[in-house]
Amino acid sequence: MSSLEVALGPLGRDEVLARYVEFVAARCRPNTVLATVSDLRVFFSVIDKDPVAVTPADVFEFITVQRRGAGDGRVVRLADGGSGMAARTIRRRLAVVSGLFNWLVLCGDRAANPVPRGMATRRTGAGGQATGSPLIRTPRTLPKVLDPADVIALLGAVRRWRDRAMLEAMVLGGLRCCEVIGLRMEDLQPTNRRVFIADGKGGHQRLIPMSGQFFQSLSNYLSLERPTDTTTDAVFVVLKTSRRGSPLSINGLEQIVASAKGRAGLERATCHQLRHTCLTRLREAGMALEAIQAQAGHRSIESTRVYLHLADSWLASEYQRASDLIDASVGILR
């Protein structure tokens, strides 16, 4: 049995879906392939049809089921009060399903994609062209960041130099949790205070500066805690149990952060919030947006612009400058 068949499970019996996942696997990262398999499984568990027989009405039925969710509706999300799947989740699943049908159209197995691009409206855009509204509206929310006091409390709650170094990599360097776990010994440049990210999001590489505080904690971990008989080149390894000396997993890192959060008495603290906190503080300190983009590993500057809104001191200073000019002009007119 191939690894694809193991990943697909019941979907492996469907030749069309298996062929599409093989196509995705040839051009995307492993996590994208797993997400594709998962989202396709969800869709066809609701719409029990052959892919070539799916209609737009089936797509709308899927959206309705996803929004309704399971149960009697008494359990809701704290973020928005909804009882079904979050809008971003539904939108991502529709994107995956739409990708399948686009592929089927290119293969000649379908005449059109049954997933609508949006809903038509009466408004017209540039050139008199009709515009449409998104099929799924997703609210634009700001990432959550930690206060400096919470960061200090979190770092003070960790019990090992290894754990402190990993947290500092995220909150001082803006690394993603997968990038922290993926660090290899050869990626470290303590003399130049640089870290090479060999396998970032989307497979993109970058060389970024890192705080001396991180390298100090890292040095303590390497000299005092990391097993000397470790054969892996992964920087961060398991220190106990039968897996001692093997590379630490993302789940292991998340559990370390969760445990430190509990000991510190914090209501929230996740790996991604540590990354958001770092990038926000860098912007507040005056770091150029393009530099933050390079530090974060964002392919688009639009992903970085959110930190303009999080760094409220920047917005306040810009508003105050403009407000002073307006007040001065009004004073002249008077």
Residues known to be catalytic:
176, 201, 272, 275, 298, 307
Which residues, other chains included, contact 310 with Cβ-Cβ below 8 Å and sequence gap of 6+? 142, 143, 145, 276, 280, 283
100 contacts: CB under 8 Å, gap ≥ 6: 17, 20, 40, 51
| CB neighbour list of residue 95: distance below 8 Å, 6 or more residues apart | none
Q: Among 226, 209, 208, which Cα is nearest to 218's?
A: 226
Q: 48 is written with which tokens?
A: 């029990």
Helix (H, G, I), strand (E, B) or coil at 236: coil
Rounded to whole angstroms, the Cα distance separating 61 from 121 reads: 21
User: Cα 199 vs. chain centroid, distance in angstroms?
Assistant: 15
Interaxial angle between packed helices 56-68 and 30-46, expressed in degrees from 0 to 180 and rounded to the nearest 10: 100
- Asked if 118 and 132 count as a contact pair (C-beta separation under 8 A), the reply is yes
Axis crossing angle, helix 271-284 with helix 161-171, rounded to the nearest 10: 50
How many residues belong to the chain?
Answer: 334
DSSP symbols for 293-310: HHHHT-SSHHHHTHHHHH
d(CA 234, CA 291): 28
Contact 161, 254 (CB under 8 A): no
